[in-house]
Amino acid sequence: MPKCNAREGSLIYQNPLSSPEDLRGWVMEGKGIVRFPNGRLHMENELDAEQYGDDAHFVYWCPETFPDGIVVKWDFYPVREPGLCMIFFAATGINGEDLFDGRLAERTGKYPQYHSGDINTLHLSYFRHKHADERAFRTCNLRKSRGFHLVCEGADPLPPANDALPPYRMKLIKDGVSVHFSINGLPILEWEDDGRRFGPVYGGGKIGFRQMAPLKAAYANFEVRRLLCD
């Protein structure tokens, strides 16, 4: 946790993710299908995973640029497996550009474009149920890129989709050197960036949701608040 008496402060951004109007301005990279049954954002791949491989995955970006020192929360509903879910945060161009700056290379959902391209970002995999080894020993993985550096792991408490009782409330804290992640109030992982081993500490930036095909999942009640330290 941040090295202070941390508490949630004022609201920066709030989105129920319940209708097409709520997602106006969001940026899809790749071929993702977006629907809103039951007043929630449901996403799945448009391209067949067996035929298109990595080209079937996608990322959906919130258009806002967020500062450092934030608390990010959202409801998560696993619907159909296999697959993988990830959140990108503190995402910018490698020279500090806005993530959607036209000088950056086009991104189409293929993972190497995000971990070894021309952007810097932290990315947390919190539902890793795609490959057999991931399902056999489930972890949440935090990586820092550019560079695909695995910086922290924690046990994943989320069950298979058929056994799930969602929503699961996800909470991510990014505060300077510190990252903390919990699910339903249960601490999953925390990490402190020394600013040396994997490059400078990242600050603010964009937030995006990534899915790996053929997963289907739903999201709701996305909000970002300032982190206050007394």
| Mean per-residue pLDDT over the chain, rounded | 96
| Digit-coded pLDDT (tens) for 139-187 | 999 999 999 999 999 999 999 999 999 999 999 999 999 999 999 999 9
The pLDDT assigned to 7 comes to 85
Closest CA to 61 of 83, 86, 78, 40: 86
The answer to whether residue 59 sits within a structural domain is yes
Q: Is 57 helix (H, G, I), strand (E, B) or coil?
A: coil
The answer to whether residue 81 sits within a structural domain is yes
Domain total of the chain: 1
2 has a pLDDT exceeding 80: no
Question: How many Å apart are CA 226 and CA 9, to the nearest integer?
Answer: 5
The answer to whether residue 78 sits within a structural domain is yes
Q: Which domain, by its residues, includes 44?
A: 6-104+112-229
The answer to whether residue 1 sits within a structural domain is no
The answer to whether residue 57 sits within a structural domain is yes
Q: Which residues contact 8 (CB under 8 A, 6 or more apart)?
A: 71, 225, 226, 227, 228
Mean pLDDT of 199-216: 98
Q: Helix, strand, coil: what percent of the chain each, to 5?
A: 10, 50, 35
222 has a pLDDT exceeding 70: yes
Mean pLDDT of 28-46: 98
The answer to whether residue 34 sits within a structural domain is yes
Q: Are 211 and 58 in contact (CB under 8 A)?
A: yes
Mean pLDDT of 43-68: 97
26 has a pLDDT exceeding 80: yes
Closest CA to 128 of 151, 162, 154, 109: 154
Residue 230: how many CB atoms within 10 A of its CB?
6
1 has a pLDDT exceeding 60: no
CATH of the domain at 126: 2.60.120.200
Q: Note the pTM of the prediction, 2 decimals.
A: 0.95
The pLDDT assigned to 200 comes to 97
| Digit-coded pLDDT (tens) for 87-111 | 999 999 999 999 999 999 999 999 9
Closest CA to 25 of 58, 61, 59: 61
Question: How many Å apart are CA 60 and CA 41, to the nearest integer?
Answer: 11
| Digit-coded pLDDT (tens) for 3-20 | 556 789 999 999 999 999
The answer to whether residue 96 sits within a structural domain is yes
Mean pLDDT of 26-52: 97
